[in-house]
Amino acid sequence: GLWVLNNTSAMSSHVLNHSHQHLSSLPESDLVVQLSTSLKTKPDVVDFGTVFTDHMLTVEWNANDGWQTPLIRPFGDLSLHPACSALHYAVELFEGLKVYRGDDKRLRLFRPLLNMERMSKSAERACLPAFDQSELLGCIKRLIEIDQDWVPHLGPACLYIRPTLIGTEPSLGVKKPNRALLYVIMCQAGSYFNTKLSLWADPKYTRAWKGGTGDCKMGGNYGGTLFAQLEAGSYGCQQVLWLYGEDHQITEGGTMNIFLHWINEDGDEELATPPLDGTILPGVTRQSILDLARKWHSGFLNSLLERYLTMGQLCSALKQQRLKEMFGSGTACRVCHIGSIVYEEKNLQLPNQDEHSLSSRIATELTDIQVSR
């Protein structure tokens, strides 16, 4: 799962043979590099997603010729047709992953093939072109190597990578685009949330629904949540706890997957998270937590389940003091403790996190893996 970025020779071992190129082939071996002649000053502390590295990756696609030559070039603006399908019909998607500088100073990507697989599924759902996942990852690794000085040397900070794929069809009309642009930008990333999180839960807003695109990483899933997030702020909450259905099923918190560590209705200690039923984004951190918990399962937890969870069950667990903790997970936030929920005009106070809690153990283990301790 950890891809070590050490030197050029380590990367070149992943270059594929392109003697028979297909429309889905993204020719990493033809990668062209144009280095910037004016490098930016690297700040010490920045807000997430505000300061970007010196270079970016761009690859154009069209239905006749397939993927064109990948280009690493100085970071800069894109030129888009005013009728671009991404601007009018949200024919676009993105991914998010991180590169870490280990205690041994080597750079590592954390489970990037999971991101490539999810991006590929999102592209299929958005009617955007298929791409070779290994070739794209090879191009991303080369971009990281060029801008490796941007990866922080100290503390929990890292470099965030944002692959993006947009439809660039230069005509109006809701249709599958015949042109597309794949690009990758990178920025420094520290802590996404610095304190325990407060959530506002109200079923009048829905993030995703069965048969929709909630399991894909598309911009429309996020832009459509801003109005509800502003209302959450009026209740003194930082994010929305998204509910679904008449029984108020818990789905996601803000942009995070949700976990409950509790004593379930049968009296068993359990770690539970909502199942991937099409309304939940299959988070890489979520999957990693499940993988770790399965390893720890024997003698540590009675059960580990992907199961439906409702606000009624959560409220009963709180009232009967069966809830140990509730936390969220994601690439940007990693593992984030949830301290309170405003629901049906009540402010529900959740158990505090401590150094012995399950979420603390998970966060420590994930960090130790990411920096190769």
pLDDT tens digits, one per residue of 14-66: 222 222 335 677 777 789 999 999 999 887 767 788 899 999 999 999 999 99
Least confident of 275-289, 290-304, 318-332: 290-304
pLDDT 10s digits, 132-178: 999 999 999 999 999 999 998 876 678 999 999 999 999 999 999 99
Token duo for residue 285: 């951190």
299 pLDDT exceeds 70?
Answer: no
- Residue 103 CA to residue 232 CA, distance in Å, equals 39
Angle at 152 between CA 146 and CA 156, to 5 degrees: 140
pLDDT 10s digits, 211-222: 999 999 999 999
Position 155 scores a pLDDT of: 67
Position 9 scores a pLDDT of: 29
Pairing assessment for the beta strands 92-94 and 158-167 based on DSSP bridges: antiparallel
Residue ranges of domains in the chain, CATH in brackets = 2-189 (3.30.470.10), 197-371 (3.20.10.10)
Confidence class for position 2, pLDDT limits 50, 70, 90: low
Residue at token pair 């599958």:
176
Position 192 scores a pLDDT of: 59
3-state secondary structure of 117: helix
Residue at token pair 């005013």:
82
- Any idea of the CA torsion for 54, 118, 368, 5, to the nearest 10 degrees? -40
Backbone angles phi, psi at 313, to 5 degrees: -65, -40
Token duo for residue 138: 């090879």
Confidence class for position 126, pLDDT limits 50, 70, 90: very high
**Percent of the residues in the chain that have a pLDDT greater than 70, as a whole number:** 90
Q: Which residues touch 312 (CB under 8 Å, ≥6 apart)?
A: 247, 248
Token duo for residue 270: 């359990």
Which residues make beta-bridge pairs with 154?
A: none
Residue ranges in the chain assigned as alpha helix (H) = 8-12, 85-89, 112-125, 133-146, 220-223, 226-234, 284-296, 311-319, 358-370
pLDDT 10s digits, 247-293: 999 999 999 999 999 999 999 999 999 999 999 999 999 999 999 99
Residue at token pair 């004016």:
38
3-state secondary structure of 78: coil
Confidence class for position 191, pLDDT limits 50, 70, 90: low
Backbone angles phi, psi at 134, to 5 degrees: -65, -40
Q: Which residues touch 364 (CB under 8 Å, ≥6 apart)?
A: none
Position 7 scores a pLDDT of: 37
Q: Which residues touch 181 (CB under 8 Å, ≥6 apart)?
A: 58, 59, 60, 61, 78, 165, 166, 168
Measure CA 369 to chain center.
18
- Any idea of the CA torsion for 264, 266, 270, 271, to the nearest 10 degrees? -50
| Torsion sign across C-alpha atoms 129, 132, 135, 141 | positive
11 pLDDT exceeds 80?
Answer: no
- Residue 93 CA to residue 349 CA, distance in Å, equals 36
Position 371 scores a pLDDT of: 86
More confident residue, 112 or 26: 112
168, with CB counted inside 10 A (0-12, 13-18, 19+), is buried
Residue type for position 282:
P
Position 17 scores a pLDDT of: 27
Contact 273, 259 (CB under 8 A): yes
Measure CA 372 to chain center.
21
